[in-house]
A = this chain, B = another copy of it.
Amino acid sequence: MENNKRIYMDYAATTYTKPEVLEEMIPYFTQEFGNPSSIYSLSRGTKKAIDLARERVAKVINCEPAEVFFTGGGSEADNWALKGIAFANKHRGNHIITTKIEHHAILHACEFLERNGFEVTYLPVDEEGKISIEDLKNAITDKTILVSIMYANNEIGTIQPIKEIGEICREKRIFFHTDAVQAVGHEKIDVKDMKIDLLSMAAHKFYGPKGVGVLYIRKGIRIDNLVHGGGQERGRRAGTENIAGIVGLGKAIELANENLEKEHERLSKLRDKLINGLLQVPYTRLNGPTGKDRLAGNVNVCFRFIEGESILLLLDAKGICASSGSACTSGSLNPSHVLLAIGLPHEIAHGSLRLTLGDRTTEEDVDYVLEVVPSVVQRLREMSPLWDD
Contact A238 B34 (CB under 8 A): no
Which of A212, A240, A327 is packed against the most chain B CB atoms within 10 Å?
A240
* A51-59, A123-131, A222-230: which lies at the interface: A222-230
Min CB distance, A121 to chain B, in Å?
Answer: 18
- How far is A202 from B241 in the complex, measured between Cα atoms in Å? 12
Contact A33 B16 (CB under 8 A): yes
- How far is A34 from B242 in the complex, measured between Cα atoms in Å? 21
Contact A225 B112 (CB under 8 A): yes
Contact A42 B321 (CB under 8 A): yes
Residue numbers in B under 8 Å from A209 (CB-CB): 29, 242, 244
Residue of B78, B204, B315 near A240 (CB, 8 A) is: B204
Residue of B nearest to A317 (CB): B41
Residue numbers in B under 8 Å from A227 (CB-CB): 72, 75-76, 79, 105, 226
Which of A40, A74, A226, A327 is packed against the most chain B CB atoms within 10 Å?
A40
Residue of B74, B104, B108, B231 near A330 (CB, 8 A) is: B231
Contact A41 B211 (CB under 8 A): no
Contact A76 B239 (CB under 8 A): yes
Which of A73, A224, A235 is packed against the most chain B CB atoms within 10 Å?
A73
Given A30-B16, A211-B245, check contact A229 B72 (CB 8 Å). Answer: no
Which of A31, A106, A112 is packed against the most chain B CB atoms within 10 Å?
A112
Min CB distance, A175 to chain B, in Å?
Answer: 19
Min CB distance, A257 to chain B, in Å?
Answer: 21
Please give the number of chain A residues whose Cβ is less than 8 angstroms from any Cβ of chain B in the complex: 80
Contact of A39 with B by CB under 8 A: yes
Which of A228, A323, A331 is packed against the most chain B CB atoms within 10 Å?
A228
Residue numbers in B under 8 Å from A224 (CB-CB): 112
Min CB distance, A75 to chain B, in Å?
Answer: 4
Contact A19 B8 (CB under 8 A): no
Contact of A14 with B by CB under 8 A: yes
Render A191-210 as a binary contact track against B, CB cut-off 8 A, 1 for contact.
Answer: 00000000000101000011
Residue of B75, B228, B321 near A34 (CB, 8 A) is: B321
Render A104-118 as a binary contact track against B, CB cut-off 8 A, 1 for contact.
Answer: 111011011000100
Given A15-B33, A17-B33, check contact A225 B108 (CB 8 Å). Answer: yes
Which of A17, A22, A35, A212 is packed against the most chain B CB atoms within 10 Å?
A35
Given A72-B72, A239-B75, check contact A108 B40 (CB 8 Å). Answer: no
- How far is A21 from B11 in the complex, measured between Cα atoms in Å? 27
Contact of A313 with B by CB under 8 A: yes
Min CB distance, A99 to chain B, in Å?
Answer: 15
- How far is A329 from B225 in the complex, measured between Cα atoms in Å? 22
Contact of A87 with B by CB under 8 A: yes
- How far is A204 from B37 in the complex, measured between Cα atoms in Å? 15
Residue of B109, B226, B309 near A79 (CB, 8 A) is: B226
Contact of A219 with B by CB under 8 A: no
Residue numbers in B under 8 Å from A322 (CB-CB): 40
Render A73-117 as a binary contact track against B, CB cut-off 8 A, 1 for contact.
Answer: 111101100000001000000000000000111101101100010
Contact B30 A108 (CB under 8 A): no
Residue of B nearest to A332 (CB): B231
Given A39-B313, A229-B78, A229-B105, check contact A33 B19 (CB 8 Å). Answer: no
Contact of A1 with B by CB under 8 A: yes
Min CB distance, A255 to chain B, in Å?
Answer: 14
Contacts beyond the supplied A13-B37, A211-B211: 5 A-B pairs with Cβ under 8 Å: A39-B313, A72-B76, A73-B239, A79-B227, A202-B240
A-B residue pairs, 8 tightest by C-beta = A211-B242, A72-B72, A105-B229, A108-B228, A75-B239, A17-B29, A40-B316, A13-B35
